[in-house]
Every structure is written in structure tokens, then in C-alpha cells.
Amino acid sequence: MVMAALLMLAGIGALAEDGRLTVQGVGVVRVDADRANICLGVRIADADVASAQAAVNEALDAVIAALKDMGLGADALSTSGIGIYPNWDYSDGETITGYTAYNSLNVAVTDVEKVGAYIDAAFAAGANSLDYVEFSAADTDEAGRKALTLAMESALEKACVLAEAAGVELGDIVSVTENPDGYYVAENAFARTEEADAGGGTKVLAAQQRVTATVSVTFDISGKK
């Protein structure tokens, strides 16, 4: 701990000779998710590849119909993944015992309260795989502006602490740069899905998003106090 403090002060001393101090500030704002993407689908194995594919197509048609009956439009549904692969038996050499066909559907939802209901309807209609539920927020502009404000406040606080620790006077701000890689939206994007109590459906716990901004601020500094 002492060594870390000494190293920090040594770095500040070097900066003092140049008359500049540069610090990084980070701001984080959390926002509630208001939309979700559900990735679910149908996966069926059969001895015959054509039969496996036909069964998947039939089941997926039923899933799509069920979701549309719940009010989702065609623009909310899109193919996420599709494929067929052989099933191997290695007990006596290498033998193909059949084929598994799958088709995954991405379901875009704007009512996060109904995510569980959509999943239940899809499985009731024939879906048998659920890859993930991903939450997001449609508008993060206001949160982004607040995160930038917090990042600037963080940089100012750091600069004051470091200048005080180094025994130098903090002057005017020379430059402020937003880190282009420092503004992003993430955090708990993937929700947990839980089986609800008996008689209920799938319970989905909506996630929050974290909007983060980073700035680099350079100050003039004068000699020792």
C-alpha cells in the first residue's frame, strides 16, 4: 500500500515538472430495460434427415402462429439460426445413427412484462429450446449525458486529490477528451429465467443496463505549495 502511494506521488512529481496533470474520470448510470430479445426454437432428432427437417418446420410454424396470436407482428420475428448435423455412435467405430435438425427464432419484444408469457406460449406450441433472453433500453441518450457529467465530476475529484497529495496547485483545465471506447451500454444484458411456482409460467427477471462514459482531463499545475 505504501509502495503504491509512493509510486503515485513519483508520477505526479514528474508531471509537475511539465506543468500538467492528466486524469481519467468514469461515470456510470443504470437504466431499466424496456425491450427484450428472446432466442428460442425447435430441435428434433430423427433417423432420416428429411423427416427431422420436416418435423422442425412443422413445429416452428406452430410456434410462430402462437406468437402472432399473442399480438406479435411478422417484423418481431426473425431466424436466428438454422442447421442439421449428424448424430454419431462411437460405441463400435463411427456410425451415424440419425440427424438433428434445429431452427432458432429471434423474438423482439417491446413489453418486457410479457416475456415469460411469450416463452410459455412458444413452448406450448412446440418449441423445446431457449438459448437466451437479452434485455436492452431503447433510449440511452439521457443516461449517456448524465454518465458524462458524472465522469467529469470524477475527473475533477481525482485531480484535486492527486494535486493535494503531491503538494501542487491545481490550475485551469487545458483539455477534455471523451474516450470513444469509454461510452458503452452493457451489464446483465442476459436475464435469468426461472420456473415459476406450480400453476404459473416462466418467470423472467428483467435486467438493468449500465451506461458508462469515460473522459480524460488535463489541468495546468504550478509548483509546490
Whether residue 75 has pLDDT greater than 50:
yes
- pLDDT for position 24: 95
DSSP 3-state of 70: coil
DSSP summary character for residue 75: G
Evaluate whether residue 198 is within a structural domain. Answer: no
DSSP summary character for residue 190: B
- Verify that 52 and 76 share a domain, yes or no: yes
- pLDDT for position 125: 97
**C-alpha span between 39 and 34 (Å, rounded):** 17
pLDDT digit string, tens, across residues 121-162: 999 999 999 999 988 888 888 999 999 999 999 999 999 999
- Verify that 52 and 131 share a domain, yes or no: yes
- Verify that 42 and 94 share a domain, yes or no: yes
**Residue 51 CA: distances (Å) to CA of 36, 54, 89:** 33, 5, 20
What CATH number has the domain bearing residue 81?
3.30.70.2970
Q: Left (φ > 0), alpha (ψ -120 to 50) or beta: where does 126 sit?
A: left
Q: What is the grid cell recorded at 46?
A: 430423427
Residues of the chain with pLDDT > 70, as a percent, come to 82
**C-alpha span between 186 and 190 (Å, rounded):** 10
Chain mean pLDDT for the chain: 84
Its pTM stands at: 0.68
Its domain, for residue 47, covers 35-136
Work out the number of other CB atoms within 10 angstroms of the CB of residue 200. 10
Give the number of domains in the chain. Answer: 2
- Verify that 120 and 183 share a domain, yes or no: no
DSSP 3-state of 67: helix
